Structure 1
Amino acid sequence: MLTARTTFNKTGKLSRSSSSLHTPQRIPADSRRKEALRDEKHSSALVGSEKLFADAALEESQEAKGRARQEGRFGKITGRGKPITRISDEGNPFIAREEFLMNRIVQRNGAAPPWVELQRELDTALASFREIVKQSWTRRCMRILSSEHPLPLLARITPAQIASVRDPMWEAHEAGYHNTALAEINSLVRRYNGVAPYPVRRTIYEREPELEKVYSECVDDVLREIDARIKEGGVVRSVSGFTDGEDDRGGGGAGGSARYDSRPGSFWAMVRKWFAKLVT
């Protein structure tokens, strides 16, 4: 095929010349038919394999349904015959349907964002620390009260008196555990604050506020211990401090051994009897 090409000669005038353009190579009709037949065979093979797979999956699902029906599983479906439970987010126009379904799947499988997982770990560690300190102080407070008040007077003690009890020896003895545990908790706090949203971040926990919290919360526990001793007949502990071979180890609330002397004719038995006569 010839076409005209316009060029400029040396004199600056236009001149026209013809040149041949390359025509695209044509594929023979036989080759096109062969390619079409090959594609058709490949498609039919894929359709056949997909059909076999679908038939096998359908057969397996039917067998699974039959086994479940024989075992009575369809009669134990939660919510059967009841209206479907709806939640507020399902009708929220600002949450896309696919996002709602994804969030529901995540929630039902117990997954949560990283900061929520750290929050759970932090709450567990903090609750464990506070419970251990409460148990340790409850035991120590009972020993102090039992050594200072005989049973008749112990029964009349007030919550304000219990809340005012302090023991510098116990605080110094437990300081090592308190500082170590709070250091670990504060390390979790820093990790949590690094990934948590700003409104839910937490401050560092300190020992003195935690002890004051324990002193106020242990009042009810001490009163329950006193009531239990009164119902049992009352046994006053002969412990006034870390003496007489008693090792009141805290280190996580592990209290030491306390000695009871309730034998008839013992010193504390006579003291209790004398105070009982004095009060009555």
Structure 2
Amino acid sequence: MSASVKATTTGINFFPEHNGKEGDLMDRMIQRQGIVPPWIEKQQEVVREVAAFRARLRGDWARHAARMIAASGGDVTAQAARADGFAAAEASFNPRRRKDEAAAAAQGAAPVEASAEHVGPIFRDPAWEAAERSYLTLSVDTLNSLTRSYNLMAPELAKKPYYSLERELKACYADVAPLLPDMIRDRGLRPARSLLAEGQGAARPPSMFAQLGGEGHARVYDDKAPRYGFKEMWRDIWGAKKA
């Protein structure tokens, strides 16, 4: 039961890691016993939570980075060119890892040496990291707690390594960097939404005046007609009785 989980956020496809031995072991146990062991259900929970965390992390960083690069000025072409430069620097300094390399790094093996060519500065925002640090730390601690519970019940071959916030951030930056140029181009090609278009297109909550039944039905009356007062009311009452 070597399943892959896919989560999509702002066009980012993510596949959590798994190893072949673990999948083969689960397949054999299910075929032999005809039931799903509790540790497999726990493993599915871990995979699901990891996928959700990574998808949200990549989505949040991609939106923030695209806005920051766009806010630095220039037209869409210049903004996308800057994003291309950041992506090239990221690929040189922090290349995306293959699944086998990621698994080795998670288990403490020596990382693969990055290319010596450093074409320019990589894009980071320390203020964003500081603002998100508390949430990210808590999320990784939660993932490690789930992993610890899973490892206590899983066979030795199926146990999972624990997660590191720094590794997760580096993987996020490496995955998002090549997507930023297209994100910025797409943002630049969107038609500007005017206030008039927004008012016509999106349904707005009714105003207090509309809830009272007055919006759109206002009338202007000519005040030259004679007023209807007590004299006219008395005349109408006695006129009706005589009739």
After TM superposition, the score normalised by the length of structure 2 is: 0.49
Between Structure 1 and Structure 2, whose CA radius of gyration is higher? 1
- The answer to which structure, 1 or 2, has the higher relative contact order (CA under 8 A, 6+ apart) is 2
